Amino acid sequence: MKNRLRPWLCVLLSAFATTSGVPAAMGMELGPASAIANAEIGAKFDGFRLTDFQGKEWTHQELQGNKAIVFAFVGTQCPLAKLYSAKLVELDKRYRDQGVVFVAVDSNVQDSLAEMTAHARKFGFEFAFLKDPAQDLANRLGVTRTPEVCVVDSEQRIRYRGRVDDQFGIGYTKDKASTFELSDALDAILKDREVQVTTSSASGCLIGRGPRDSADAELGITYAKQVSRILQNRCVSCHRPGEIGPMDLSNYDDASAWADMIVEVIDDKRMPPWHASPEHGNFANDRRMPDSEIATVKAWVKSGAPRGVASEEPAPLQFVDGWQLPREPDLIVPMSDKPAEIPARGDVKYQYFVADPNITEDTWVNGMEIVAGNRAVVHHILVFVREKGTKKRSLDGERGFLVGYVPGTRAAMMPEGMAKRIPANSELVFQVHYTTNGTATTDLSKVGFLIADKKTITHEIQTTSAVQPELRIPPNEGNYKTNAIQPEELPDCELLSMSPHMHVRGKSFRYTAVMPDGKREVLMDIPQYDFNWQTEYRLSEYKKLPKGTRMFCEAVFDNSAKNLNNPDPSSWVHWGDQTYEEMMIGYFHISVPIDPKVGRAEEVRKAKLARPTPIQIFSMLDTDGDDKLLKSEVPKQLLPTFEKLDKNGDGILERAEVPK
């Protein structure tokens, strides 16, 4: 391609004469968009005239003489478009000397030129990046989503339309692609062969087209009166500038542009994200949208997404800049004094960063939040507390932590009178899991604390778990079941919330309380676990658990090819840190009285830190809670101990036979 991007320039919007609010220089001189709307494969494409984000005008004639043109439609806010932008750069470098030219196109009305500039700089676009404000080019090529590509050959005929490959999709990410539709199409064209796959469904975001006129507008449902309030209540905490949600829904212009996409994700139940079954437990942070609200949003979109009277819109929600917490943290601790460098590709082992919070006395915190410095590569962070200067000591992260950041985490204040304790002269250890995304980058994450008045604290919040590290998931097994029971018995306490953790083969998860009398109560059921949304499920009413209760967790894994997230269905899967390995952890959070006469909080802490006793090991292995252990359930390294304790030699070890 002869025309590469020039050095970065200031975009002078005032240089464009406008008609009806759309820059005339950005329009297309091609006649009615419907002429080739949803263009069929083989149809003739008759050219374009568009302006790029730097103000340079481009026409089809400038690109003639090439064997193929790849029009790649991207959006600056679409998560999949971001993932595939790096791939488009790689493919451009691979094919540029073979007579193939790449052209990126942004048809979203909500994407500004400044956002396009930042996107092009971030991913290193060396090809034209055009603005298609009226969606004329998208309509003519039959493109509806980002990221979607359309290939036109030297005779200006459409030869392929669809996805780049199958590595990324809605709700799944593979380590590598297994089909390569775009490359296959280009290779066929370069060899003068028929393209075998002429179209394939592209996953991603619907192109934002903004409000439109409709005969149903008289329904009386507007953004100002109804929809803005629903979005504020259900969506804006995440979908706002600087937060995890990729689309800004805090204002009318952006919300109306995403109107069709809002309906799609609601219908698919992808948003708002919530996975707990309503059959067990009531949760304070239940994100499910009532049917009445769904009907209102859909009626609004159907009627053309009208704004209504702007003065009737509610006041914008107020947030603390950069934080979900209700106020600026009292104590902010960065993970390091310099950013960590993350490579473009490959596995990155868990990284550990030790930070000194400079705490000289026991400190009680009733609000905590980890802010990932670079959400594009930070998968999760756990922060632990340990005595300052500790060396080579296991963090025991599968049993508990101080505060965590995982996909779907929402920071919240702790209940009144409750807090977590950071002992005097402690240091913080950040355990960070990075996932590469094709672009070398850096990260500097941090944690913030709200400090509580210790005189007001009556209960200590502690995090513990039921964990099953002995995972042996067979190849191609779509329904591998396992379970775990908490090794130590709980004191009298209250259950506040639950946080299940598995990796990409996780299928379902269930928590059951095993009471001292043997009775069981299902506390929460996740029938369709989603690795991308590891929510902390906070109970509306705290559950009192009597002394002697243990938590029993059950999980199911899908290691089959039907699981689109599965990196390798042919492999055995065991416990491990990386996402292509697996974990099974049922974290839960309890409040324990800190009355010095009772000392229960210290009792729980010591029970977790001490070496497990034989009876605790028995409890951990007795995952069905029947107080019996078969020889086949015992790891090889513990068989000598099993045989020693099994006095009658019947191959069954009962709880009564184990010394306490």
Contacting residues for 518 by C-beta, under 8 A, at least 6 apart:
none
Domain-ending residue, one of 259, 280, 312: 312
Q: What is the pLDDT of residues 385-409, one digit of tens each?
A: 998 888 766 677 788 899 999 876 7
CATH number at residue 93: 3.40.30.10
160 — phi, psi (to 5°)? -155, 145
292: in domain: yes
Residue 325 lies in a domain: no
CATH number at residue 575: 2.60.120.230
Q: Write out pLDDT tens, residues 219-274.
A: 689 999 999 999 999 999 888 887 878 888 999 999 998 899 999 999 888 888 89
Q: Per residue, what are the HEC states of 379-406?
A: EEEEEEEEECCCCCCCCCCCCCCCEEEC
Q: Are strands 57-59 and 49-52 parallel, antiparallel or unpaired?
A: antiparallel
Could you tell me if 340 and 412 lie in one domain? Answer: yes
- Chain-centroid distance, C-alpha 11: 33
Reported as a pLDDT band with limits 50, 70 and 90, residue 10 is: very low
What pLDDT score was predicted for residue 484? 92
SS3 631: helix
Instruction: Give the containing element (helix H, strand E) for 354.
Output: strand 351-355
CA distance 55 to 472: 58
Q: Are residues 559 and 593 in the same domain?
A: yes
Q: Which residues contact 143 (CB under 8 A, 6 or more apart)?
A: 71, 73, 107, 137, 150, 161, 207
pLDDT digits (tens, 9 = 90+) for 104-127: 999 999 999 999 999 999 999 999
Domain membership flag for residue 3: no
Reading the block at residue 589, the tokens are 């959070």
Same structural domain, 186 and 233: no
- Among 282, 312, 342, where does a domain finish? 312
613 lies in some domain: yes
| Cα–Cα nearest to 23, from 46, 49, 62, 60 | 49
Query: 274-291: per-residue pLDDT in tens?
Result: 999 999 999 999 989 999
**DSSP at 44:** B
Q: Are strands 493-501 and 585-593 parallel, antiparallel or unpaired?
A: antiparallel
Residues 338 and 266 in one domain: no
The residue among 256, 284, 312 that closes a domain is: 312
**DSSP character for 199?**
B
Residue 479 lies in a domain: yes
Are 127 and 260 in the same domain?
no
Contact by Cβ (8 Å): 383, 432: no
Q: Are residues 489 and 518 in the same domain?
A: yes
Please report the pLDDT score of residue 538 as a whole number: 95
The pLDDT, as a whole number, for residue 170 is 85
Confirm whether 95 is domain-assigned: yes
> Does 266 lie in the same domain as 141?
no
185 and 281 in one domain? no
Segments forming the whole domain that contains residue 535 = 331-645
Residue 318 included in any domain: no
My answer on whether 460 and 596 are in the same domain is yes
Using pLDDT thresholds of 50, 70 and 90, give the confidence band for residue 37.
very low
Q: CA angle, corner 137, sides to 136 and 140, nearest 5?
A: 85
Alpha-carbon gap, residue 495 to 511, rounded angstroms: 12
Query: Distances from the Cα of 333 to the Cαs of 237, 365, 378, 384, 645, in angstroms?
Result: 24, 14, 17, 13, 49
Number of domains, the chain: 3
Per-residue pLDDT tens over the stretch 455-482: 999 999 999 999 999 999 999 999 999 9
Residues 36 and 168 placed together within one structural domain of the fold: yes
What confidence score (pLDDT) does residue 620 get? 66
Query: Are residues 394 and 287 part of one domain?
Result: no
User: Which residues on neighbouring strands pair with residue 588, listed in sequence order?
Assistant: 464, 498
What SS3 state is found at 76?
coil
- Cα distances from 410 to residues 143, 238, 323, in angstroms, run 35, 9, 10
Q: Is 18 helix (H, G, I), strand (E, B) or coil?
A: strand
Same-domain status, 339 and 246: no
Residue 172 located in a structural domain: yes
